[in-house]
A and B are shown apart, each in its own frame.
Chain A
């Protein structure tokens, strides 16, 4: 689905990402973990098109998409969410969702004024889609609420909703669980699994919450110092000596081994 091939990104002398390669398989929920400064978010930004890599390639469905801009990747079905949920705060939940699909007829100044019927028909179709998405996410009761009034967790659901508006193929989730309470976290996790099973989504997520990762992710890729340290199932990764060392340093490794997981 996505292949990251020997990607590096250097900021001046700092090698934020240093020759990383891995693949994200179709229909998987791939977890990306690693200690702070491991280069996860930077790598995410490279995949999402925010930064062009210094070297290496990103292959999406066999097509080289290295260096494409975020909105160009959007057209190819690759979307991302943000660590701190982003929303159009002054637009309603429905308008937020309706904003997502590209190339709407109403976007052209001419047709907005002179082809009202065509615009209205397309608008109605997108409105139906938005209603269906809100139904799926159980956000229907908030349709006309301004997005700035949503709770943190609801904003994260809204972000997932945005990806559904265009039937995304791959979604990059940047710490979707950050700052979300347990109940809503479970709901977000359920939604992710439902999206994968019912709609054939592929996910790649950065996450810190080990329980959340164990529940959702397979495989898990561990990064440290800009490289891939190891990958495997959550259990394999948790048992991996190198991973524990990368997180805690050598001194603490033995101490942790003594404690129950």
Chain B
């Protein structure tokens, strides 16, 4: 392999593979929460993005508090230390929210569309609470080491022209996502509660007539969802920054991920997350430099070779969503359609 090809591969990894994997893992964790709620409670939870924002806000505040006390776990970000406590808080808030709002509609046996509208209301409330407490601006809460490999060091190490940088937040995202997904699947496949959740998702009527306590299944679903949302939100925040509005915007790609993979199907949510993330990254990346390395000299393009401006990145998930709904409404892995 000549140097140009290696440079092209490094460039590709640096700008597409690593960011795509990271973003995909974040979307997958978010979509898992949406899919679990859809599978068990049978409604599209529009509040999920703002529940993520809420959980992350708690993490940010606890992180600041720890930092002010001088408690850090360098080289890892302090936010990791704040996570467990924040998860417990957002679990309680989510359960309280279910008890105060969604349980009422369950008792009334309301239609899924009523639930969706209620969840939109919850979304606005969470949205308001977050902005009220922490404000609408960008918040920085990362600390510790920033990079696993810096581009400059990589260049020095390999003598290549192109550098590969991997941020701590990116490495963390992927490692944590793998651990979480493994734990979640073990839980769903192996434990009695996990099986009860799957059973409840398969056939609610029958579950009600079995030894399955519906309120407990619902509560555990919310607990898991809150944990997933808080962790996904924190990882996203560490990777980019924490701004409440971004989390609301994440709702579209997260829903797209869940639907593309087949809503109600956890494997689908993960695959969907990566499909959406890579589509977004691949379509909005400017290939000029990549092509300079990849094509014979003299063929190098003059333009940016970018298919779509990053400003339009949300259009990508929207387009994929529309295509999937037109061609295969059940998603890649057969999800359920009410």
For the complex, what is the distance from the CA of A83 to the CA of B205, rounded to whole Å?
A: 12
A99 near B191 (CB under 8 angstroms)? Answer: no
For the complex, what is the distance from the CA of A95 to the CA of B202, rounded to whole Å?
A: 13
Measured between beta carbons, the chain A residues less than 8 angstroms from B220 are: 109
Cβ-based interface call for A119 (8 A): yes
B202 near A90 (CB under 8 angstroms)? Answer: yes
A102 near B195 (CB under 8 angstroms)? Answer: no
Measured between beta carbons, the chain B residues less than 8 angstroms from A181 are: none
Cβ-based interface call for A162 (8 A): yes
Measured between beta carbons, the chain B residues less than 8 angstroms from A74 are: 209-211
For the complex, what is the distance from the CA of A89 to the CA of B191, rounded to whole Å?
A: 18
Q: Which of A98, A107, A108 has the most CB of B within 10 A?
A: A107
Q: Among B198, B205, B216, point to the contact of A90 (Cβ < 8 A).
A: B198
Q: Which of B191, B207, B223 has the most CB of A within 10 A?
A: B191
For the complex, what is the distance from the CA of A67 to the CA of B191, rounded to whole Å?
A: 32
Cβ-based interface call for A100 (8 A): yes
Q: When A87-B203, A119-B192 are in contact, do A102 and B213 touch as well, CB less than 8 Å?
A: yes
Cβ-based interface call for A88 (8 A): yes
Within 8 A of A (CB), among B183-210: 187, 191-193, 195-196, 198-199, 202-203, 205-210
Cβ-based interface call for A79 (8 A): yes
Q: Among B191, B193, B198, B208, point to the contact of A70 (Cβ < 8 A).
A: B208
Mark each residue of chain A from 126 to 162: 1 if its CB lies under 8 Å from any CB of chain B, else 0: 0000000000000000000000000000000000001
Measured between beta carbons, the chain B residues less than 8 angstroms from A82 are: 205-206
Cβ-based interface call for B6 (8 A): no
Cβ-based interface call for A56 (8 A): no
Cβ-based interface call for A71 (8 A): yes
B192 near A71 (CB under 8 angstroms)? Answer: no
Measured between beta carbons, the chain B residues less than 8 angstroms from A79 are: 209
Cβ-based interface call for B214 (8 A): yes
Measured between beta carbons, the chain B residues less than 8 angstroms from A87 are: 202-203, 206
A123 near B192 (CB under 8 angstroms)? Answer: yes
Interface size on A, residues (CB 8 A): 33
Mark each residue of chain A from 67 to 111: 1 if its CB lies under 8 Å from any CB of chain B, else 0: 001110010000110100011111100011011111111111100
For the complex, what is the distance from the CA of A123 to the CA of B205, rounded to whole Å?
A: 24
Chain B nearest CB: distance from A89 CB in Å? 5
B206 near A86 (CB under 8 angstroms)? Answer: yes
Q: When A89-B203, A99-B199 are in contact, do A162 and B193 touch as well, CB less than 8 Å?
A: no
Chain A nearest CB: distance from B194 CB in Å? 8
Measured between beta carbons, the chain A residues less than 8 angstroms from B80 are: none
Q: Which of B192, B213, B214 has the most CB of A within 10 A?
A: B192
Cβ-based interface call for A195 (8 A): no
Cβ-based interface call for B181 (8 A): no
Measured between beta carbons, the chain A residues less than 8 angstroms from B212 are: 71, 99, 102
Q: When A74-B211, A102-B213 are in contact, do A107 and B203 touch as well, CB less than 8 Å?
A: no
Measured between beta carbons, the chain A residues less than 8 angstroms from B209 are: 48, 70-71, 74, 79-80
B211 near A91 (CB under 8 angstroms)? Answer: no
Smallest CB gap from A104: residue in B: B192
Measured between beta carbons, the chain B residues less than 8 angstroms from A107 are: 192-193, 196, 213, 216
Mark each residue of chain B from 261 to 278: 1 if its CB lies under 8 Å from any CB of chain A, else 0: 000000000000000000
Measured between beta carbons, the chain A residues less than 8 angstroms from B206 are: 82, 86-88
Partner-B contacts on A (CB < 8 A): 48, 69-71, 74, 79-80, 82, 86-91, 95-96, 98-109, 112, 119, 123, 162, 166
10 contacts between A and B (CB under 8 A): A70-B209, A71-B214, A88-B203, A100-B211, A102-B212, A102-B213, A106-B191, A107-B192, A107-B216, A166-B211
Apart from A99-B210, A106-B193, what 18 extra A-B contacts exist at CB < 8 Å? A69-B208, A71-B208, A71-B212, A71-B214, A87-B203, A87-B206, A95-B195, A98-B195, A99-B211, A100-B210, A100-B211, A101-B211, A102-B211, A104-B211, A105-B192, A112-B187, A112-B191, A162-B210
Partner-A contacts on B (CB < 8 A): 187, 191-193, 195-196, 198-199, 202-203, 205-214, 216, 220, 223
Which A-B residue pairs are the 7 nearest by beta carbons? A102-B211, A106-B192, A86-B206, A88-B199, A88-B202, A112-B191, A70-B208
